[in-house]
Amino acid sequence: MTVDRRWQISLRIVALGYLALLLLVPVGLIFFRTFEHGVASVWESITTPAAIHAFWLTIEVTAIAVPLNTLFGIVMAIALARGNWRGKGLVNALIDLPFAVSPIVIGLSLILVYGVNGWFGGALSDAGIQVIFSVPGIVLATIFVSLPFVVREVTPVLKEIGDEQEQAAATLGAGGWTTFRRITLPAIRWGVAYGVVLSVARCIGEFGAVSVVSGKISGQTETLTLLVEKRFANFDLAGAYAASALLALIALGTLLAMTMIKPRREEGDA
């Protein structure tokens, strides 16, 4: 179907105009508003003790959640792509739940299990462990929301490459671990990398679930996204913009990583 020139141009203008008004102008404006009072004040507001703590807490939570979910993701993807077991269809559907469930519901669900009046609340407080309104709760919420990314990126790659090479390696006497390390892992590495990038972005950016379970104690359980909200609520607009600009920079870095990994993942170069 060949659209004539006039139609082509008008479709292009509508599409790009929509994107500009929805995406580009708002995000550009964040940077403008951030730096309109100079770089010094921005630097000051992202290096306050609370901001630095929020930054490192965000990194810490991400550094716990992403490796765990990557490990889970690879194992589960292999089981889904190669295995033939009962309940596979059900598990496959359940893995998507974190994408479909509201972050607020996720936060509530953790409170109902680990909170003071939760299922394990009594046992945990007897043991002196606080999960809700504390860092472990934030970690659990973050693991929950970022759980499906690696599985969803790796499973199609595994299906695409097939298992002939793995079979051949096994026939030639390679053990399970050797086959995985020498054959499977190199073939799926870009799929894993893409999933990891998506997970990292989600972990750093998670707000809803974390805001329910964190208690938002400045300098203790406050992540970067919570800092943005608190500064906004306290009428510290400049501070909120500065923290947002930092998060937006991380997001742009994520996009760059996605763009670089995507073609390699699609080539599936082994």
Partner 1 sequence: MSATAVTSAPPPSAAAPSSRPAWRSSGALGLGIATLWLSIIVLLPLSAVVVRSLDGGLGAFWDAVTSRQALAALRFTVLVSLATAAINVVGGTLIAWVLVRDRFPGKKIVNALIDLPFALPTIVAGLTLLTLYGPRSPFGIDIAFTQWAVLLALLFVTLPFVIRSVQPVLIELDREMEEAALSLGARNATIFRRIVLPNLVPAILSGAALAFARAVGEFGSIVLISGNIPFDTQVSSVYVFKLIESDAPVSAAAVSTVLLLVSLAVLLGIRGFGRWGARHDR
User: Could you say which residues in the range 177-236 bind partner 1, by CB under 8 A?
Assistant: 177, 179-180, 198, 201, 204-208, 211-212, 224-225, 228-229, 232
Taking the complex as a whole, the smallest distance from the CB of residue 128 to partner 1 amounts, in Å, to 21
Does residue 72 belong to the site contacting partner 1 (CB under 8 A)?
yes
Q: Give the nearer residue to partner 1 in terms of CB position, either 98 or 191.
A: 98
Site for partner 1 in 39-58 (CB under 8 A): none
Site for partner 1 in 126-165 (CB under 8 A): 140, 143-144, 147, 162-164
Taking the complex as a whole, the smallest distance from the CB of residue 196 to partner 1 amounts, in Å, to 13
Does residue 173 belong to the site contacting partner 1 (CB under 8 A)?
yes
Q: How far, in Å, CA of 1 to CA of 42, rounded?
A: 52
User: Which residue stretch of 38-46, 68-76, 123-131, 187-195 sits at the interface with partner 1 (rule: CB under 8 A)?
Assistant: 68-76
Taking the complex as a whole, the smallest distance from the CB of residue 98 to partner 1 amounts, in Å, to 6
- Which of 109, 155, 214, 221 is the binder for partner 1 (CB under 8 A)? 109
Site for partner 1 in 20-39 (CB under 8 A): 22-27, 29-30, 33
Paired tokens of 203: 């972990």
User: Which residue stretch of 39-47, 123-131, 152-160, 243-251 sits at the interface with partner 1 (rule: CB under 8 A)?
Assistant: 243-251
- Which of 94, 129, 185, 270 is the binder for partner 1 (CB under 8 A)? 94
Q: What is the 3-state secondary structure (H, E, C) of the chain?
A: CCCCHHHHHHHHHHHHHHHHHHHHHHHHHHHHHHHCCCHHHHHHHCCCHHHHHHHHHHHHHHHHHHHHHHHHHHHHHHHHHHCCCCCHHHHHHHCCHHHHCCHHHHHHHHHHHHCCCCCCHHHHHHCCCCCCCCHHHHHHHHHHHHCHHHHHHHHHHHHHHCCHHHHHHHHCCCCHHHHHHHHHHHHHHHHHHHHHHHHHHHHHHCCHHHHHHHCCCCCCCCCHHHHHHHHHHCCCHHHHHHHHHHHHHHHHHHHHHHHHHHHHHHHCCC
User: Which residue stretch of 36-44, 102-110, 153-161, 187-195 sits at the interface with partner 1 (rule: CB under 8 A)?
Assistant: 102-110
Does residue 251 belong to the site contacting partner 1 (CB under 8 A)?
yes
Taking the complex as a whole, the smallest distance from the CB of residue 9 to partner 1 amounts, in Å, to 9
Does residue 176 belong to the site contacting partner 1 (CB under 8 A)?
yes
| 37: phi then psi, degrees, rounded to nearest 5 | -105, 20
User: Which residue stretch of 36-44, 45-53, 77-85, 186-194 sits at the interface with partner 1 (rule: CB under 8 A)?
Assistant: 77-85
Taking the complex as a whole, the smallest distance from the CB of residue 71 to partner 1 amounts, in Å, to 9
- Cα 32 from chain centroid? 26
